[in-house]
Structure 1
């Protein structure tokens, strides 16, 4: 009987209500988000193509960077088009199963983003601390396995979200005060006990944070110690420049993510809901937008290849005339 009740109270579709209180300025929200999303797609696809086409960039560091770009594209594409449709066309309806699928992808790829950052830091650690064994440690097989394990970790941690959310009866309506299907936002419109969902969500964040952040911290301690010990000033500068790019990517990823997560669960009543939802969109959009810029500015190899690529393109177009 309970199964019948749950199934009968599962809505066919949900309404994503957008940003509460800012309905009248939807167009003002659309253009910055659209601009950032366009930069994110252009920058990340450009970076992936550059790494793919330039043989000199077929190294573990750049392969991990391409994986980060691919993850960034999937992460922001899982939500931002939905947000843009709400802002521009007032298209708020989403199928319940599509909502669960969106929830799965957004949380999987945010978890994968953190994992890829760890892989990039470990790559830098091996390059700095074990330079002679670098090529033998980070083979193509090891890189492929590391990437697959990072993805599977995200999937394994997120799948329970779907089952925990799907089991609820939804008797409080079908309107979600958000721009996309976030796990806890969907759970809160049910009439079930969301305490298990909240506890499991906190456990996932702590599991990822307690593993990834100590890995990054310990690795950077060793990296900076190795960088300071380098005899060549040019080598030290190159090492610190690479570290700066990584640190910027880590700050851009973790600060908005943790702000969004903890305010959603512990500070919802003290922070205006529209601020929280804007931050929830920015934490999915800022890393994809900023990472290609940060790595493009801070990584000289990529700078040189970009300049060479554009000059080569100009030469080819001038030869046609």
Structure 2
């Protein structure tokens, strides 16, 4: 703790043999960050520039990929700074801010409306409704998570070693006394922000598959090609999100290397693969990408 400035600092003790593999960590994370920024930003720019992509589905894809850019920018520079530091630390207020930003950046999907109700799609997905959904998807998590972050700001810490690469729900383990109210509120947020949306999306995908099963073979094939990759991403994201939150609830100590691998996957996986799932796999976006990078070839 810095008594002059009255700021509490936390040691980051998540990396395995940081002194030995410092530059390996840096190269991996720096390369991943550059790829994330370039790939996600390219597709977002294509959607903004080309008017034929100004449709609800592509607008939500752009918002999702923009989330990846914002989240990575909030996390990666600090991670890169940490792996090059002799003693990685973070101030407690900065840790709470990182925790709030990391959990707040969430996204909603409109796949159910677009496939299950195609005739009503123009009516349901009007410009006003799109704006409402985007605002709610960003503001609602941020508002809910502001409560535990605000209540944790003035608590006393008894532990100052943090076994994570980024600040998350387990920062509460550093507090001298565990608040029952905060624990209950955290579980409510967990259910509201992760469990309920996952069940809703799974329900809508089941409806999609039921409807397409009753349709022709070609419809089933196209629905499977479109939905299965998204469903895999959703399940993977939910598993990593659950692992991250449940770490605070369980007392089991994972081997440090296993813990680090899980943390790196949750940080690397989705920002890197979202542009492939939601970009290269989308026919119209793929056409514009080919024109951009292979201007001499016909699509």
| TM-score bracket for this pair, using the shorter chain length | 0.7 to 0.9
Which segment drifts farther, 156-165 or 13-22?
A: 13-22
TM-score norm. by structure 2 comes to: 0.88
Q: 1:39 to 1:251 in 2, by over 3 A?
A: farther
Q: 1:275 to 1:202 in 2, by over 3 A?
A: farther
- Secondary structure of residue in 2 paired with 1:245: helix
Q: 1:100 to 1:194 in 2, by over 3 A?
A: same
Give yes or no for the alignment of 1:72 onto 2:56: no
Could you tell me whether the CA contact under 8 Å between 1:188 and 1:194 is conserved in 2? no
Q: Which runs of 5+ in 1 are unaligned?
A: 1-7, 316-321
Task: Specify the alignment match of 2:54 in structure 1.
Answer: 58
Q: 1:245 to 1:50 in 2, by over 3 A?
A: farther
Query: 1:167, CA displacement in angstroms?
Result: 2.9
| CA shift digits 1:189-211 (9 cap, x unpaired) | 23222444433322211222342
Q: 1:14 to 1:38 in 2, by over 3 A?
A: same
Which of 208, 221, 231 is residue 247 of structure 1 equivalent to? 231
Aligned length: 294
Q: 1:190 to 1:300 in 2, by over 3 A?
A: same
Which of 277, 281, 287 is residue 304 of structure 1 equivalent to? 287
Whichever structure has more helix as a proportion of its residues is 1
Task: Specify the alignment match of 2:173 in structure 1.
Answer: 188
Give yes or no for the alignment of 1:293 onto 2:271: no
- Secondary structure of residue in 1 paired with 2:143: helix
Could you tell me whether the CA contact under 8 Å between 1:16 and 1:179 is conserved in 2? no
Q: Which runs of 5+ in 2 are unaligned?
A: none
Cα distance between partner residues in 2 of 1:37 and 1:274: 22
Cα distance between partner residues in 1 of 2:65 and 2:145: 21
Task: Specify the alignment match of 2:262 in structure 1.
Answer: 279
Give yes or no for the alignment of 1:17 onto 2:4: no
Could you tell me whether the CA contact under 8 Å between 2:9 and 2:89 is conserved in 1? yes
Q: 1:197 to 1:280 in 2, by over 3 A?
A: farther
| CA shift digits 1:63-119 (9 cap, x unpaired) | 00111011111222222221111112346233333222212111211xx1xxx2xx3
Two-structure CA RMSD over aligned residues (Å): 2.5
Query: 1:40, CA displacement in angstroms?
Result: 1.4
Q: 1:15 to 1:237 in 2, by over 3 A?
A: same
Could you tell me whether the CA contact under 8 Å between 1:108 and 1:155 is conserved in 2? yes
> Structure 2 matches for 1:177-216, cutoff 5 A?
177-185=163-171, 187-216=172-201
Q: Which stretches of structure 1, 4 residues or more, deviate above 3 A after TM superposition? A: 194-199, 233-236
Cα distance between partner residues in 1 of 2:251 and 2:90: 27
Could you tell me whether the CA contact under 8 Å between 1:11 and 1:174 is conserved in 2? no
Cα distance between partner residues in 1 of 2:26 and 2:145: 29
Could you tell me whether the CA contact under 8 Å between 1:76 and 1:288 is conserved in 2? yes
TM-score norm. by structure 1 comes to: 0.82
Q: 1:261 to 1:268 in 2, by over 3 A?
A: farther
Cα distance between partner residues in 1 of 2:53 and 2:200: 26
Query: 1:169, CA displacement in angstroms?
Result: 1.4
Task: Specify the alignment match of 2:206 in structure 1.
Answer: 221
Cα distance between partner residues in 1 of 2:33 and 2:252: 27
Q: 1:207 to 1:216 in 2, by over 3 A?
A: same
Could you tell me whether the CA contact under 8 Å between 1:22 and 1:274 is conserved in 2? no
Cα distance between partner residues in 1 of 2:49 and 2:87: 39
Give yes or no for the alignment of 1:268 onto 2:252: yes
